[in-house]
Amino acid sequence: MSDNAARILSLRSVKECVILERINRFVVKIISDRAVRKAYVNNTGRLLNHIVEGRRGFCVKHQRRMKTDCRLFAVREKSLAAVIDTQLQIQVLEKAIAMDLLPWIRGSRIIRRNARLGSSLIDYLLEYNGEKIYLEVKSAVLRYGEYALYPDCLSLRGRKHIIELMNHVKSGGRGIILFIAALPDVKAFKPNVSADPEISDLLLEAEDAGVIIRAVEMYYNPEDSYVYLSNPDLSVELA
């Protein structure tokens, strides 16, 4: 754990669980409090190195009545945990922006969420240094050694967003693509060429066109039930 990690978001009533199997895109079977339960997963990725029988995870009860018993938000990695819940990742990011913890966009504020750009909805429209800038966020929770990768499967939606932002920047606008490496102990982000080689090519093209490519690192610490921002400017290796 980095000494410079910033404690961002507290989670209450967290239960540790054991993962059994993924039933479908949104439901995982777990064991919690000695009972087999169904947990909601807010991540449509494949999560093949996280949703594995026998892995230990962390879940919280739903705040309202749902078809599942709880929400699986993190999976243990040694003494820490990967944050697989994309909604939780976004909450941490928004708080980090509000706390002015991202040095590459210091002083910015969120104007709009789900902002229309061409035929796409981009995650955020920010005001930054008197200008408007679009920010698209992607979850990178696939681990390859010390690297966080995106995507974990072919992503037509991801391609579309990159192209949309690239065209916007080529027309004189500004745009950022941010990868959230929600894994402890990673040294850089890389595009996953084996899953979608076109994403890798598009990111290089977008960067050449002037789109800003950034990454941040975060993790969950079971000892104090906080999500930490461990690196606000994680290295990005596109080539």
| Residue in 131, 140, 236, 119 with CA at minimum distance from that of residue 175 | 131
Provide the β-strand partners of residue 82: 75
Give per-residue pLDDT as tens, 144-161.
999 999 999 999 999 999
Calpha distance 78→184 (Å, rounded): 9
Q: pTM of the entire structure?
A: 0.95
Give per-residue pLDDT as tens, 50-77.
999 999 999 999 878 889 999 999 999 9
| Residue in 225, 228, 236, 184 with CA at minimum distance from that of residue 95 | 228
Domains and CATH numbers, the chain: 6-83 (2.40.50.580), 86-236 (3.40.1350.60)
Calpha distance 55→225 (Å, rounded): 18
Q: Which amino acid is at 46?
A: R
Asked whether the beta carbons of 122 and 136 are under 8 A apart, the reply is yes
Asked whether the beta carbons of 19 and 230 are under 8 A apart, the reply is no
Average pLDDT over all residues of the chain: 96
Calpha distance 188→192 (Å, rounded): 12
